[in-house]
Structure 1
Amino acid sequence: MSASTEKIRNIGIIAHIDAGKTTTSERILFYTGSSHRMGNVDEGTTITDFDEEEAKRGITIYSAAISCQWKDYSINIIDTPGHVDFTAEVERSLRVLDGAVVVFSAMEGVEAQSETVWRQADKYNVPRICFINKMDRIGASFERTFQEIEKRLIAKPVAMQIPIGEGSTSADDSFQGIIDLIKMQALYYDADSKGSQFEAKEIPESYLERAQEWRGKLLESVAELDDEILEQYYETEEIAEADILRLLRIAALKGDLQPTFCGSALNYIGVQPVLDAVGNYLPSPLDRPPVEGINPQPKKRGGKAGESESRGPSVDEPMCGLVFKIQADKHGDLCFMRVYSGQLKSGSRLLNARTGKKELISQLWRVHADSREKVETDCIDAGDIAGVIGPKEAVTGDTLCDIRHPILLESISFPETVISMAVEPESSADRKKLEETLQKLARQDPTFKATPNEETGQTIVSGMGELHLEVLRNRMQKEFNLSIRVHKPRVSYRETVSKAVEKVVEFSRPSAGGNLYFKIKLRLEPFKGDSSVSIISNLKPSELDPAFEKTMLETLKMGLEGGGQVGFPLMNVQFVVIDAQTREGETTDVAVEAAVSEALHGCIMDSQIQLLEPIMKMEVVTPDEFRGNIQADLSARNAAVLNTEWRSDLCVMEVEAPLSQLFGYSTQIRSLSQGRASFSMEPLKYAPAPPSVLKEMIG
């Protein structure tokens, strides 16, 4: 195994919006020598937020990949968005990363999107370290944020540092530096060198007792990891530094503990220890289990498709990698790819395990946000991440692998879209261009969908929120020079049924070659399960030819694309095939498809449809003086305030509200609070919509 693989770290920087992810990334780039200037979010000059929309809005929209060197570690970093509308960027990044740095604001503590990204990291078993940022701001509290990480995230943070001072209230108790609890020394960072230089001093007398208390907690957490060390700790009340680092690494890799650091990225304090921690506590590709997949093709000598396969992070294994992001480029789309095994070589041909077609790998690039450099060796080893130019049909989540050793890795699952709007070209001449543009956008963004409406000539585009659709609309106009008309956004409803309905269809038609016949009895019923729609057959194996049963079930699946009575996708329903009858020589695929299609649509049209609407989970943060107005407005929007708590002098409300009532809410909340309140939201569930909504749709 190459020594370099041990030194690779593939990490993501994840957090709630405005916690300081991008500023932290900028400092990392500067200290690792990957950039020679420090960008500023407020000025729109950051390296990772290179897109025009990002610079204008001061937020991260697209995950940016950057590669850098720190000491003897090679670090691939992905700076991800914090806004929930762009949660897919976080999802696809965590799918391929080995570790994560979770950034928290010491002012706001654990916020709504902090919980979301933490759950996403849990989903992929990604080990993480915590960085409590913004210790220099008024209202900052290390201890409160630390406790919130424990309670709200049900995590086990272990403090590696504590701050010297907090906030910026007065010179005496303002944030000045950090105390290293392992070496028991105070670190002061030099502002003139932008934090490149720092000085280690003795811990100030006034902080010594507090430092010893927190060090005691650290040592207790470490001692509990090993019986021998625990015994030694009881005797001496000390643990050797090497043992602390070794045991913390083991616990962090398992996800049992999260080493926690503090600082102020904006003021250049505490970033280098986080970089050290990436090497010390986060996994290399060798520390992660082999990636699992299935064989998509029958083996030539025995075996069959669908058998499980695995690939270890070794150059000696067959090549296999996952495409996790596609970025439009004038020279050809750039595919971001994580190589799990073998070697990825330019000029090679790989199998796309999803399509069964071959894809050419023409160029390999090291990506640094909006710049890139060609890989000199024309080869990327297992465990690394690179940009690839060449694949024509690959989409996010596709597996590219050795043609002789096919494997299909688990793809990336994304949340359902919740909002849509109609777009149409300004002129009919642009209709073809609009179609091509939407295809490109959908290939790059898995949470964006476009469906043409032949009757109106419009196209319905769907996404994760108002901001998401606004950004995509601006891209169409600026990036693709497309003039479009945009109509008011609308909610993506779902349909379900309130009671079971059965339909018997007997298809019998004369044809040129003789008679066609097939009879089916189908039931549509309410169903609560993991999938939106379930299809099952109650037929015994001998009752129907397997080929006809396959045709029957495939026809059912295809028939569902048209949606329910009103045209929205069906949800929480089950189709049950109760009975099927054939006649020898008369039952063909055509007869099966016709009967099943008629039965399917008959069940849908005869059922009592219930409309479901998306309910959003919101966190609304406001100064107390505006709480009454904001609560009254939420009540008028049919929102339910589930919980209220205080975070310093701010009121934090946990709210559930129907998405249909939240259009334009960002403008309204600013108006009600003189711009001082904020909110975040994410899709929570689907719930019955008011009967009046369905009545209005049916007319």
Structure 2
Amino acid sequence: MRQNIGILAAVDSGKTTLAEAILYQSGAVKKMGRVDNQDAFLDHFALERARGITIFSKQAIFHWKDWEINLLDTPGHIDFSAEMERTLTVLDYAILVISGASGVQGHTKTLWKLLRRYHIPTFIFVNKLDQNGVEKENVYAELRRKLSGNIVDFQAEKEEWLDELSMCSEEMMEATLEEREITKEMISFAIAREELFPCYFGSALKLMGVEILLDAITEYAIEKEYPEEFGAIVYKITRDFQGTRLTHIKVTGGEVKNKMVIGEEKVNQIRIYNGIRFESVSDVGAGTVCALVGLNHTYVGQSLGEDHTAIPKVLEPVLSYEMILPEDIVPNMVMPKLKEMAEEFPELQLQWDEKAQSIRVKLMGAVQIEILQNLFKERMDMDVTFSEGRIAYKETIQLSAEGIGHFEPLRHYAEVHLLLEPLPRGSGLIFSSKVSSDMLAVNWQNLILTHLKEREHKGVLIGAPVTDMRMTIVAGRAHNKHTEGGDFRQATYRAVRQGLMQTESILLEPYYEFRLEIPVVNLGRALNDLNAMFAKFDPPETEGEMASVVGVAPVACIQNYQADLLTYTKGQGHIFLSFDRYDECHNSEEVISNAMYDPELDISSPCGSVFCAHG
């Protein structure tokens, strides 16, 4: 039996220490590494050991009882949240690590929301229980109050444990009322349906509670069933120390064999990674997380075969930076290497501005900037810096519209009709087809869907990426003799653009969720500031001489508030920020006016159709 289990936590919660403890306790490693000793089994990159943080998600294999478990350690630092989120797509279960000393942090809530969005059954491990001042009861109460009332202490007295279990699902409530036993199967299914979240307590550093946690996972986890047809989801692209491109996948159906053709490319090697080492195998079955060699045109988030996983990412950079290269480097000459790096870090959303002859990227924060600078130096022997960040806006539509793209120069032909429909905030882009195979062959329909997914489509207000809409193929035409693959790319891009020009668009900006902790005497000033920053917030809560305010505000307004806060509270005020969502821009007219963007003049995104001059 096999499970893919991820470990997630806010930074400094002891996540990597727990991973080391699990590997040591299970016998997978002979010595338990430590972050502060720079010898953790899974933090094997020099940058990770130097910084003492996990930057890249990695996997290790261990056995417990009859289970083979593939453990995936994910970054805890908020700057590498996108790397963590990519890993969620391949998990069967998750362990959310909470520091008993810090409790529920802002990033902990973000992780909890993501786990629920991706529907990943979750076990909770409260770490650092050995530290002075950590009270188990207080931490447990905070978890149930701030995350979910269905979090249950599985180390509690039996009567209390049964009482709390019965409140988590109708099935267990009925069993309690009818004085029947709550069975292991009931508990397992409640966990799998995210109705119940088992909670354990201990100290990873001292191996307290680790064995109990592993026993619980293997007792209550349910092995997943998969279809027989081949399917896989690409969750990561990397390169090994020799520069070989690796496509990391989870097989979601059927099997993968060496020399198998996927799309138009052949698998040359299948690797099962265990820390820095790997084993080459001839085939892998459904549920396996592995790396494939030989696929050079895959991308993160891509579905292969019959896989239909399509969950829009939640965490992404909200600031855009210009990359400043050394004076002797011509920007467009390094673009091929930069594109390779962007494959590994798709959140960079690499953009080449032809008019300004500049390169722009999106970044999560200062730590990621430092890591990227190190990677550029290591891989390209190039010192780069970045400009001051500016807000990364997005666009969406208010009303539905049909866009038509016709591409018919001499001896070429393709026509695409797309229906563009607005979706709720946070939906991302969803692509589908309603065309019968009688009108347009399935292979052409799939090609159009590929072209829709392969690029970032510009909006018509300021040229920002579009989001939160459904693009549906409603009609299309090909020519038996003259249609080539590239024809549909041109027709598809033009259909999207033409549809956007036909409807009304809305400018979106990123919002931070914030928690403000401040002396009561400064509360009036803080509330006035929040109103001036177009924040929306709940009524303040006070405890003794301190007050707290929770809400959301535009990133553009609140991103630099910490400096002012420290000044007027004499260092006693703190604000905690985490990405919340994109929503309507508070000063759209000003931003659009300043952008001076004319969609008709953007030659990189033409909206007009192309017809044969000879009729």
TM bracket (short chain) = 0.7 to 0.9
Percent identity, aligned pairs only, is 26
Cα distance in 1, alignment partners of residues 522 and 25 from structure 2: 42
Deviation at 1:159, TM superposition (A): 1.5
Assess, with a 3 A threshold, how the Cα gap between structure 1 residues 465 and 647 changes in structure 2: closer, same or farther.
farther
Correspondence 1:159 to 2:153 = yes
Please say which of residues 470-479 and 557-566 is displaced more in the overlay: 557-566
Q: CA deviation at 1:76?
A: 0.8
Displacement of 1:656 after TM fit? 1.5
> Are residues 411 and 218 of structure 1, via their aligned partners in 2, closer, same or farther at CA, if it must alter by over 3 Å?
closer
Tell me what 1:349 maps to.
259
Instruction: Report the equivalent of 1:386.
Output: 290
Q: Aligned pair 1:436/2:346, yes or no?
A: no
Between the aligned partners of 2:362 and 2:66, the Cα distance in structure 1 is 45
Shift of 1:437: 2.8
- 1:64 equivalenced with 2:58 (yes/no): yes
Tell me the secondary structure at the aligned position of residue 440 of structure 1.
Answer: helix
Query: 1:426·1:483 contact (CA, 8 Å) conserved in 2?
Result: yes
- Confirm or deny that 1:100 pairs with 2:10: no
SS in 1 for 2:87: helix
Larger deviation, residues 682-691 vs 527-536: 527-536
Q: Which runs of 5+ in 1 are unaligned?
A: 1-5, 163-180, 183-212, 291-309, 312-317, 401-405, 578-588
Tell me, in whole angstroms, the C-alpha distance in 2 between the residues paired with 1:599 and 1:396: 22
Asked if 1:136 is matched to 2:82, the reply is: no
Instruction: Name the residue aligned to 1:175.
Output: none
The structure-2 alpha-carbon separation of the partners of 1:385 and 1:571, relative to structure 1 and needing over 3 Å to count, comes to: closer
Q: Are 2:266 and 1:374 equivalent residues in the alignment?
A: no
Structure-2 residue corresponding to 1:339: 251
Whether 1:365 and 2:272 are equivalent positions in the alignment is yes
1:288 to 182, 201, 224: 224
Cα deviation for residue 490 of structure 1 reads 1.0
Contact in 1 for aligned 2:16/2:35 (Cα 8 Å): yes
User: Shift of residue 533 of structure 1?
Assistant: 8.4
Aligned pair partner of 1:321 in 228, 232, 241: 232
Counterpart contact for 1:559–1:597, Cα < 8 Å: no
| 2:576 equivalent among 674, 679, 682 | 679
> Residue 155 of structure 1: CA displacement?
4.7
Aligned to 1:269: 208
Distance of aligned partners of 1:58 and 1:530 in 2 relative to their CA distance in 1, 3 Å threshold: closer
Matched-pair contact (CA < 8 Å) for 1:419–1:466: no
Letter aligned with residue 261 of structure 1: Y
Instruction: Say if 1:432 and 1:697 are closer, same or farther in 2 by CA, change over 3 A.
Output: closer
Match of 2:82, as an amino acid? A
1:617 lines up with 2:517 in the alignment? no
- Flag the 1:499–1:58 CA change in 2: closer, same or farther, 3 A: same
The 3-state SS of whatever aligns with 1:161 is: coil
Q: 2:84: which partner in 1?
A: 90
In the alignment, which of 195, 209, 214 is matched to residue 160 of structure 2?
214
Name the SS of the counterpart of 1:413 in structure 2.
Answer: coil
Contact in 1 for aligned 2:516/2:574 (Cα 8 Å): yes
Distance 1:532 1:103 in 2: 29
The whole-number CA distance in structure 2 between the counterparts of 1:500 and 1:319 is 35
Matched, 1:407 2:317: no
The question of whether the paired residues in 1 share the 8 Å contact of 2:348 and 2:362 is answered with: yes
Rg larger in structure: 1
Number of residue pairs aligned between Structure 1 and Structure 2: 574
Compared with structure 1, are the counterparts of its residues 527 and 91 closer, same or farther at alpha carbon in structure 2 (3 Å cutoff)?
Answer: closer
Q: SS where residue 96 of structure 1 aligns?
A: coil
Of 84-93 and 634-643, deviating more is 634-643
Q: Does 1:126 align with 2:25?
A: no
Match of 1:253 among 177, 187, 192: 192
Does the 8 A contact of 1:493 with 1:568 survive in 2? yes
Distance 1:622 1:329, change over 3 A: farther
Contact 1:418 1:683 (8 Å CA) reproduced: no
Among residues 230, 236, 241, which one is paired with 1:330 in the alignment?
241
Residues 658 and 126 of structure 1: CA distance in aligned 2, closer, same or farther (over 3 Å)? same
- The 8 Å contact of residues 501 and 523 in structure 1, kept in 2 or not, is answered as yes
Q: 1:630-688 CA deviation, whole Å, 9 max, x = no partner?
A: 76765665544435447999754323222123445566667767598462311322222
Correspondence 1:36 to 2:33: no
**TM-superposition CA deviations, 1:487-507 (whole Å, max 9, x none):** 22111123568999999xxx9
Per-residue deviation at 1:480? 3.2
Q: 1:431 to 1:365 in 2, by over 3 A?
A: same
1:10-49 equivalence runs, <5 A:
10-49=4-43
Paired letter, 1:146? Y
Q: How big is the shift at 1:131?
A: 1.4
Q: Which amino acid in 1 is paired with 2:297?
A: E
Q: CA deviation at 1:95?
A: 1.5
After TM superposition, give the deviation of residue 615 of structure 1 in Å. 1.6
State how far apart, in whole Å, the 1-side matches of 2:111 and 2:430 are: 30
- Residue in 1 aligned with 2:549? 653
CA distance in 2, matches of 1:114, 1:127: 16
Q: C-alpha distance in 2, partners of 1:135/1:60? A: 22
Distance apart, 1:420 and its partner CA: 0.8
8 Å CA contact 1:27–1:265 kept in 2: the answer is yes
Q: How does 1:160-199 map to 2 (within 5 A)?
A: 160-162=154-156, 181=157
**What are the Cα deviations for residues 341-369 of structure 1, in whole angstroms up to 9, with x where unaligned?**
44434xx23343xxx3123232423321x
2-structure distance, mates of 1:29, 1:687: 47
1:484 aligns with 2:484: no
Cα distance in structure 2, aligned partners of 1:414 and 1:247: 32
SS at match of 2:462: coil
| 8 Å Cα contact 1:639-1:656 kept in structure 2 | yes
How far apart are the structure 2 equivalents of 1:560 and 1:215?
50
Shift of 1:372: 0.9
Q: CA deviation at 1:390?
A: 3.1
Distance in 2 between the 1:501 and 1:575 partners? 10
Matches within 5 A, 1:412-561: 413-415=312-314, 417-429=317-329, 431=331, 434-465=334-365, 467-495=367-395, 561=457
Contact 1:367-1:386 at 8 Å conserved across structures: no
Deviation per residue, 1:174-195 (Å, 9 max, x gap): xxxxxxx46xxxxxxxxxxxxx
Distance 1:112 1:36 in 2: 35
Instruction: State how far apart, in whole Å, the 1-side matches of 2:336 and 2:570 are.
Output: 43
CA displacement, residues 175-222 of structure 1 (integer Å, 9 cap, x when unaligned): xxxxxx46xxxxxxxxxxxxxxxxxxxxxxxxxxxxxx5345367569
Task: Report the 3-state secondary structure (helix = DSSP H, G, I; strand = E; otherwise coil) of the residue aligned with 2:301.
Answer: coil
Tell me: CA distance 1:569–1:386, structure 2 relative to 1, closer, same or farther (3 Å).
closer
Superposed CA offset, 1:524-565 (max 9, x none): 9998788678999xxxx9xxx989xx9xx99x9899944324
Residue 683 to residue 232, structure 1, CA distance change in 2 (3 Å): closer
Secondary structure of the 1:349 match is coil
More displaced stretch, 252-261 vs 566-575: 566-575
Instruction: Specify whether residues 675 and 643 from structure 1 end up closer, same or farther in structure 2 by C-alpha distance, changes over 3 A only.
Output: same
Structure 2 CA distance for partners of 1:441 and 1:344, relative to 1, 3 Å = same
> Which residue matches 2:71?
77
- Is contact 1:425–1:485 with CA below 8 Å preserved after alignment? yes
Provide closer, same or farther for how the CA distance between residues 385 and 609 of structure 1 changes in structure 2, counting only shifts above 3 A.
closer
- Cα distance in 1 for partners of 2:471, 2:172 equals 54
Q: Provide TM-score, normalisation by structure 1.
A: 0.67
- SS of the counterpart of 2:375? helix
Give the match for residue 605 of structure 2: none
Shift in Å, 1:262: 0.9
